[in-house]
Amino acid sequence: MMTKNLSPELYRVIDANLNRLREGIRVIEDIARYSQNNKTIATQLKSLRHQSRIDNLQELLHSRDSINDVLRQTLGIEMNRSDLQSIIVANYKRTQESSRVLEEMYKIVKPSTSEIFKTLRYELYSLEKEHLRN
């Protein structure tokens, strides 16, 4: 739940990064589950995805403006994926970056939630190392 009445722009940043975080985790989770048959990694990722949920999304939804996103168009570099490994790496980085943004934004909105995203970020760092070693 949001604890302060803050700008729609701040909530838009949070909304975009929550979506990016969960989507990135889901991509890695599905590759681990369906392509690699790695139950351990898939289960850990599923747990992290569930930990990234926010109870009250109403302010976030009201602030969403994906139609007018100035970087909505796909960049050429985003199309450079050569194999599943490159997709996994790109999505680990995406989730770590999003976790960091959320950690910073929630320092303003609700500091206790900021710590949740910090913990998620460090768990993603460890999981990436474990996953990519296999």
Q: Provide the CB-side half-sphere exposure for 69 (13 A, CA).
A: 13
54-66 residue pLDDT tens: 766 666 776 766 7
Residue 120 clears pLDDT 80, i.e. is over it: yes
Quick one: DSSP state of residue 68? G
Distance CA 120, CA 106 (A): 13
Provide the whole-model pTM: 0.84
Q: Are 88 and 36 in contact (CB under 8 A)?
A: no
Residue with tokens 């589950």: 33
5-30 residue pLDDT tens: 678 788 888 989 999 999 999 999 99
